[in-house]
Amino acid sequence: MAEVFRSLRLYVLLQRASARGALQYRLNTVIGILSGAIWQGTGFAFIWVVMHTFPSLAGWGLAEIAFLYGLRLTAHALAMIPLMSVNDIQWVVRNGEFDRFLLRPLNPLVQLMGNRMGIAQFGDLLVGVTLLAVAGQNAQISWNAWLIAFCFVAIIGGALIEAAFFLALCSLALRMIDTFALRVFVDDVFSKFGSYPMKIFGGVTEWLLTFVLPVAFVAYIPASVVLGKLDTPLALAAPLLGVVLVALAYLVWRRQLDHYQSVGH
């Protein structure tokens, strides 16, 4: 446990240093955040146009889908802000820089995560939180303490689910060098399918996106609970699943780390 707290403390220090470095170029930082916000804003604008043609999708109105979109986007941002530098792992491995991490008395994953902060993902977070706030007022949700707590925990759980798949796929680069295309594919599945009610995709696809690649647990199932569309014990598994998957992803990381070979070998 002491080692965990030490790693967490050092990670915070590394991210603080990264943030200070980014803020030395304030205009670049602002542009990065705005670009992330604009990119995600255009994604929701497409949904807004579709909803003006089809006022209801599988029984979901615009405010409800906006809430679903905001929930998924907030979880996505919280997953990627601390892990964005892990996305560079193929270059770190290919250029031999990963060897430096192994020579230091600190968890290599913590060092890799602390390399840089995901600036553009703060734009994702801004749009996600804004959509949650606005849609939460317009979707006729009967807010109470339990729903607020569940929504908060569900966002953390959704972030952990997405982070788990991202980390596991990045870990494969320690042996396969480059898994970027596979990571992009999985990220597209989470972002494109996870922003809509699962019912519109049909039985087989809905089952696959729930029990094989658990996209539904990131936002659809939690949003359905908050919006009063779902009342099942399965909903309670959404936050817990993230914890289990992150633990499994870290085991994958450790396993791949054991098989890492320097590019000089």
Domain of 28 in residue numbering reads as 2-258
The confidence score (pLDDT) of residue 248 equals 96
For residue 101, the surrounding DSSP H or E stretch is helix 98-103
Asked if residue 61 belongs to a domain, the reply is: yes
Asked if residue 124 belongs to a domain, the reply is: yes
Cα gap 245→160, rounded to integer Å: 7
Asked if residue 263 belongs to a domain, the reply is: no
Asked if residue 140 belongs to a domain, the reply is: yes
Whose CA is closest to 10, among 86, 99, 83, 110?
110
Backbone phi, then psi, for 144, in 5-degree steps? -145, 180
| Residue 49 DSSP symbol | H
pLDDT along the chain (265 residues), means of 10: 68 72 72 79 81 80 92 93 86 85 84 78 89 89 88 92 94 83 89 89 87 92 88 73 93 90 67
Asked if residue 264 belongs to a domain, the reply is: no
Asked if residue 265 belongs to a domain, the reply is: no
**pTM score:** 0.89
The confidence score (pLDDT) of residue 44 equals 82
Asked if residue 105 belongs to a domain, the reply is: yes
Q: How far apart are the first and last CA of the chain?
A: 35
The confidence score (pLDDT) of residue 216 equals 92
The confidence score (pLDDT) of residue 246 equals 94
Number of domains the chain contains:
1
Asked if residue 83 belongs to a domain, the reply is: yes
The confidence score (pLDDT) of residue 229 equals 85
